[in-house]
Amino acid sequence: MAEGPLPDIVIGDPNAPVTIVEYASMTCGHCANFHENSYPTIKTDYIDTGKAKLIIREFPFDPRALAAFMLARCTQNDAQRTAMIDVLFDQQDVWARAENASTALLNIARLAGFTQESFAACLNNKELQEQIVATQERGQQEFGVDATPTFFVNGDKYAGSLPPDQIAAIIEQKLR
């Protein structure tokens, strides 16, 4: 599951023995549920201890999800990128269902240091947009991703928002 058109968003030790690849859409409620309920446990027990790494790959189902991923990609570094993804999932109800998603996203992006100009420049970056769409297409064509979230743990596919105990059991099995 080598990198695609964009460098992977990697959380954790790149050399960790267990690799969790998540295909997510920023407007997906099940993805937000995973990041709210399962991710903190997995991060504490496996990512922070060097046993696993999480790779987030873009699979936007709609223009709002695409815009959110573009903003995450336009941040200055990996730490800001993962923080932006965390905030976007945490605040999903605020921006994904807003009457004016652009204003809601700009308010969130300002927390990461975006100005009105850098926000607009990011969202008008056609090359980045094409690369994110290509990441999604690759997920569909090469790996059979057709829903979000979809996880690959050391190459084995799991669909749906995995509860903490279920993903922990999968990771433990891979560590043996």
Residues 6+ apart with CB under 8 A from 165: none
Would you place residue 1 in the very low, low, confident or very high pLDDT band (cuts 50, 70, 90)? confident
Domains of the chain: 9-175 (3.40.30.10)
Is pLDDT at 91 greater than 90 in this prediction?
yes
Is pLDDT at 166 greater than 80 in this prediction?
yes
Q: Are 86 and 35 in contact (CB under 8 A)?
A: yes
Angle among Cα 91, 43, 110 to the nearest 5 degrees reads: 30
Would you place residue 110 in the very low, low, confident or very high pLDDT band (cuts 50, 70, 90)? very high
In whole angstroms, how far apart are CA 22 and each of 103, 107, 108, 118? 28, 26, 23, 28
In this prediction the pTM is: 0.93
Mean pLDDT of the chain: 95
Would you place residue 4 in the very low, low, confident or very high pLDDT band (cuts 50, 70, 90)? confident
Mean pLDDT for the stretch of residues 121-136: 97
**How confident is the model over 63-90, as pLDDT tens digits?**
999 999 999 999 988 889 999 999 999 9
pLDDT, residue 78, reads: 84
Encode 44-55 in three state secondary structure.
Answer: HHHHCCCCEEEE
In 10 A of CB 13, how many CB atoms?
Answer: 14
Mean pLDDT for the stretch of residues 116-131: 97
Cα–Cα distance between 25 and 58 in angstroms, integer? 6
Would you place residue 3 in the very low, low, confident or very high pLDDT band (cuts 50, 70, 90)? confident
